[in-house]
């Protein structure tokens, strides 16, 4: 079936929802579709705990927030982008409040918390469930605009629809599949906003929800857009080791309170790793744990606070205490198994801070995009800020584009692929390959890299990628196979980006090149050449 809209939004996290609301406010007669592959609230946004950074305190300044962001980014942030995002912070917070987000207040004032790397109190939060509150309010606001906004849940986008337009590739919408109805639809729109979030699921250990399979990066890349800086994946040092269950973060405050990291045979992990021992910065701790795990072949290390008073632990960490207990770990009596887990992708689809990509009519916002905001490492609580600012700026640019450009009456599309996806097969191969891919990435492409391990991983990922292309053509389209196809592409792109950067900087640490090298003080950019599109993996590499 064909559906036609003025604006198509892929994704229902903070970026997609905020963009949708801004667009309908600016274009009162426009019709907009939000397509999301699960329930609206099944997003990383919904999981964000800490908060959203903005300069609102009297003792704070735009310059200080910009400096903190640049320091975290290890030389790779784009200063102009950082300045625009930080300057826009206070006004987007006002808009979030106007859409109904209730941030925590103290004595009638917004409560501003502080997080690692920030030199001032500037993190707005809604208790420790900030993302859930933002998602709740924005989903409700979109439902309220049902006159202009249609929401399609359980609809997965397979690929973007592109056509040549004046010497440039343009996007005309997307092919969408619903597993329940086994239906393929073409959604046409002059403007498509890609707001598909992150890619943490390509790793076995991740804090990201199941939807974070890097679909947006993979489909934009297949459509001919450049991707950038994918080697910079941020790992949270201590997520609960509990395979098969929802990921759960063990806050770094536990170490701040006296928690000690130990190996399974009770050796202190941080004893010789850093003068600050367990209070060392996040990346050093994650690297030290990774080293211990690689040497021992164990699956996790232990975080112990059982030496502290039980009453104090329950009072200081009520949520962590309760959740761990629910999963069988009484943290007042025994240590907690933890493992570093993929948390945030600093790289993504190359985009301006106004959301423009290299394809006419294709915009991107949120974690899927690489704008130069985060450089080689993300400052805590800057990702929700960047997502909402991009969505706002993107709505402005997309409106301008919409008012000048239309779609041609006929767009020649090749959807023969989608009519061939009809034959039932066993799903076990897909589940097996997904697990294998995630293990390869966690074992060989995580925190501490070597060229040797990266090359081995690339070889293995290519094999999975070839298998997946076979499944994709011959098995029934299931969300599983669609995601696996995207995960294989994204895994390959992460490894290739890592192999291109012959230095260690920010989140990319490679033992063969342990120093920073200013010859690499530029973005890593990869783009698939048009002539090779849909024909395998020959591509051009423009950077690092
Ligand atoms: C546990 C956790 C805690 C965090 N804490 C913080 C924090 O305190 N502060 C902060 O700034 N950041 C935090 N982050 C990061 C932040 O939450 C994310 O970067 C941000 O929410 C991303 O928003 P988004 O709109 O880009 O994507 P998401 O919120 O992830 O939304 C993506 C949407 O795209 C949809 N989608 C994806 N692929 C397809 C497809 N093929 N077809 C259709 N729909 C698709 C998904 O279903 C989903 O609706 C945290 C992340 C996690 C995982």
Q: Indicate the SS3 state at residue 328.
A: coil
- For residue 132, report the distance from its CA to the centre of ligand 1, in Å: 11
The per-residue pLDDT for 406 is 78
Q: Around 251, how many Cα atoms within 13 Å sit in the side-chain half-sphere? A: 20
C-beta separation of 461 from 491 below 8 A: yes
- For residue 129, report the distance from its CA to the centre of ligand 1, in Å: 14
Instruction: For ligand 1, pick from 8, 9, 10, 11 the residue to mutate: most ligand atoms within 8 Å of CB.
Output: 11
Structure tokens at 522: 């530029």
Count Cβ neighbours within 10 Å for each residue of 494-531 and write b for 16 or more, e otherwise. bbbbbbbbebbbbbbbbeebeeeeeebeebbbbbbeee
| Mean local confidence (pLDDT), 433-441 | 96
- In the residue annotation, 282 being an active-site residue is answered as yes
Distance CA 378, CA 357 (A): 21
2-6, 118-122, 254-258, 399-403: which has the minimum mean pLDDT? 254-258
Predicted confidence (pLDDT) per residue in 298-310, tens digit: 999 999 999 999 9
Distance CA 27, CA 397 (A): 12
Q: Of 416, 426, 536, 414, which Cα lies nearest the Cα of 481?
A: 426
| Mean local confidence (pLDDT), 169-177 | 95
The per-residue pLDDT for 383 is 97
Does residue 533 register a pLDDT over 70? no
| Mean local confidence (pLDDT), 61-80 | 97
| Mean local confidence (pLDDT), 271-277 | 90
| Mean local confidence (pLDDT), 27-31 | 97
- For residue 197, report the distance from its CA to the centre of ligand 1, in Å: 4
Q: Of 500, 509, 507, 494, which Cα lies nearest the Cα of 457?
A: 494
The per-residue pLDDT for 417 is 57
Does residue 539 register a pLDDT over 70? no
Does residue 47 register a pLDDT over 80? yes
Does residue 230 register a pLDDT over 70? yes
Nearest protein Cα to ligand 1, atom 20: 45
Instruction: For ligand 1, pick from 18, 39, 43, 157 the residue to mutate: most ligand atoms within 8 Å of CB.
Output: 43
The per-residue pLDDT for 532 is 44
> Pick the catalytic residue: 84, 282, 434, 505?
282
505 secondary structure, DSSP code: B
* Percent of the chain whose predicted confidence (pLDDT) is above 90: 77
Does residue 421 register a pLDDT over 60? no
Does residue 418 register a pLDDT over 80? no
- For residue 44, report the distance from its CA to the centre of ligand 1, in Å: 3
| Mean local confidence (pLDDT), 316-342 | 93
Does residue 476 register a pLDDT over 70? no
The per-residue pLDDT for 504 is 97
Distance CA 472, CA 218 (A): 14
| Mean local confidence (pLDDT), 84-106 | 97
How many residues would you count in the chain?
544
Q: Which atom of ligand 1 is nearest to the CA of 158?
A: 41
Q: How far is CA 51 from the centre of its chain?
A: 16
| Mean local confidence (pLDDT), 169-190 | 92
| Mean local confidence (pLDDT), 284-291 | 92
C-beta separation of 345 from 198 below 8 A: yes
The per-residue pLDDT for 203 is 97
Q: Which atom of ligand 1 is nearest to the CA of 15?
A: 25
C-beta separation of 371 from 349 below 8 A: no
Residue 482 banded pLDDT, cuts 50, 70, 90: very high
* Percent of the chain whose predicted confidence (pLDDT) is above 70: 94
Residue 475 banded pLDDT, cuts 50, 70, 90: low
The per-residue pLDDT for 85 is 98
Round the average pLDDT of the chain to a whole number and report it.
91
Q: Which atom of ligand 1 is nearest to the CA of 486?
A: 41
Distance CA 289, CA 344 (A): 18
Highest mean pLDDT among 239-243, 300-304, 407-411: 300-304
Who contacts 244 (Cβ-Cβ below 8 Å, separation ≥6)?
none
107 secondary structure, DSSP code: T
Q: Which atom of ligand 1 is nearest to the CA of 36?
A: 44
How many helical (H) and strand (E) elements, i.e. helices and strands, does the chain have? 14, 25
3-state secondary structure 516-533: CCHHHCCCCEEECCHHHC
Q: Considering only residues 443 and 476, tell me which one the structure prediction assigns the higher pLDDT.
A: 443
Does residue 512 register a pLDDT over 90? yes
- For residue 344, report the distance from its CA to the centre of ligand 1, in Å: 9
- For residue 199, report the distance from its CA to the centre of ligand 1, in Å: 9
Contact residues of ligand 1, CB 6 A cut-off: 10-16, 35-38, 42-45, 47-52, 130-131, 156-157, 195-198, 207-208, 211-212, 215, 249, 344, 366-368, 381-384, 387
Predicted confidence (pLDDT) per residue in 14-24, tens digit: 999 999 999 99
Q: Considering only residues 355 and 319, tell me which one the structure prediction assigns the higher pLDDT.
A: 355
The per-residue pLDDT for 116 is 79
The per-residue pLDDT for 264 is 95
Instruction: For ligand 1, pick from 44, 69, 391 the residue to mutate: most ligand atoms within 8 Å of CB.
Output: 44
Residue 390 banded pLDDT, cuts 50, 70, 90: very high
Does residue 287 register a pLDDT over 50? yes
Residue 537 banded pLDDT, cuts 50, 70, 90: very low
Q: Which atom of ligand 1 is nearest to the CA of 196?
A: 34
pTM above 0.75, yes or no: yes
Q: Which atom of ligand 1 is nearest to the CA of 125?
A: 8
Instruction: For ligand 1, pick from 9, 22, 131, 368 the residue to mutate: most ligand atoms within 8 Å of CB.
Output: 131
Does residue 386 register a pLDDT over 70? yes
- For residue 367, report the distance from its CA to the centre of ligand 1, in Å: 7
Q: Considering only residues 73 and 418, tell me which one the structure prediction assigns the higher pLDDT.
A: 73
Residue 251 banded pLDDT, cuts 50, 70, 90: confident
């Amino acid at each position: 079936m064909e559906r036609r809209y003025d604006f198509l939004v892929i994704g229902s996290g903070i970026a997609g929802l905020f963009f949708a609301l801004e667009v309908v406010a600016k274009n009162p007669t426009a019709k907009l579709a939000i397509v999301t592959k699960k329930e609206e609230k099944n997003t990383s946004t919904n999981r964000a705990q800490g908060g959203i950074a903005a300069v609102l305190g009297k003792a704070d300044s735009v310059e200080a927030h910009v400096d903190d962001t640049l320091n975290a980014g290890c030389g790779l942030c784009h200063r102009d982008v950082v300045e625009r995002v930080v300057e826009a912070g206070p006004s987007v917070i006002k808009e979030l409040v106007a859409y109904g987000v209730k941030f925590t207040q103290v004595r009638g004032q917004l409560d501003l918390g502080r997080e690692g790397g920030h030199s001032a109190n500037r993190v707005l939060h809604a208790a420790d469930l900030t993302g859930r509150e933002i998602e709740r309010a924005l989903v409700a606001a979109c439902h309220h605009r049902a006159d202009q906004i249609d929401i399609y849940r359980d609809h997965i986008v397979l690929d973007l629809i592109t056509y040549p337009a004046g010497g440039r590739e343009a996007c005309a919408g997307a092919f969408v599949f619903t597993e329940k109805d086994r239906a393929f639809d073409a959604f046409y729109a002059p403007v498509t906003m890609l707001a598909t979030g992150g890619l943490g699921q390509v790793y076995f250990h991740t804090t990201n929800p199941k939807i974070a399979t890097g679909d947006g990066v993979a489909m934009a890349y297949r459509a001919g857009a450049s991707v950038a800086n994918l080697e910079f994946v941020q790992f949270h040092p201590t997520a609960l080791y509990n395979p098969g269950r929802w990921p759960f973060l063990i806050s770094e405050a536990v170490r701040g309170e006296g928690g000690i990291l130990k190996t399974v045979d009770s050796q202190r992990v941080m004893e010789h790793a850093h003068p600050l021992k367990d209070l060392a910065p996040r990346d050093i701790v994650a690297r030290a744990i990774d080293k211990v795990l690689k040497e021992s072949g164990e699956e996790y290390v232990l975080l112990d606070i059982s030496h502290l008073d039980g009453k104090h632990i329950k009072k200081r960490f009520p949520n962590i205490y309760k959740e761990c207990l629910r999963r069988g770990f009484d943290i007042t009596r025994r240590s907690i198994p933890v493992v570093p887990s993929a948390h945030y992708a600093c790289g993504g689809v190359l985009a301006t801070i106004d959301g423009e990509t290299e394809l006419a009519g294709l915009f991107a916002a949120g974690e899927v995009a690489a704008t130069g905001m985060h450089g080689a490492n993300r400052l805590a609580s800057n990702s929700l800020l960047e997502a909402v600012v991009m969505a706002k700026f993107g709505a402005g640019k997309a409106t301008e584009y919409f008012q000048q450009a239309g779609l041609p009456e006929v767009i020649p599309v090749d959807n023969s692929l989608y009519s061939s996806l009809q034959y039932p097969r066993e799903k076990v191969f897909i589940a097996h390959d997904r697990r294998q891919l995630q293990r390869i990435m966690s074992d060989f492409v995580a925190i501490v890299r070597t060229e040797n391990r990266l090359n081995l991983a690339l070889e293995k990922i290519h094999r999975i990628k070839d298998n997946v292309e076979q499944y994709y053509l011959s098995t029934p389209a299931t969300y599983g196979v669609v995601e696996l196809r995207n995960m294989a592409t994204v895994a390959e792109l992460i490894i290739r980006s890592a192999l291109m950067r012959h230095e260690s900087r920010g989140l990319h640490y490679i033992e063969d090149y342990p120093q920073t090298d200013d010859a690499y003080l530029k973005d890593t950019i990869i783009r698939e050449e048009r002539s090779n599109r849909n024909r395998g993996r020959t591509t051009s590499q423009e950077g690092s």
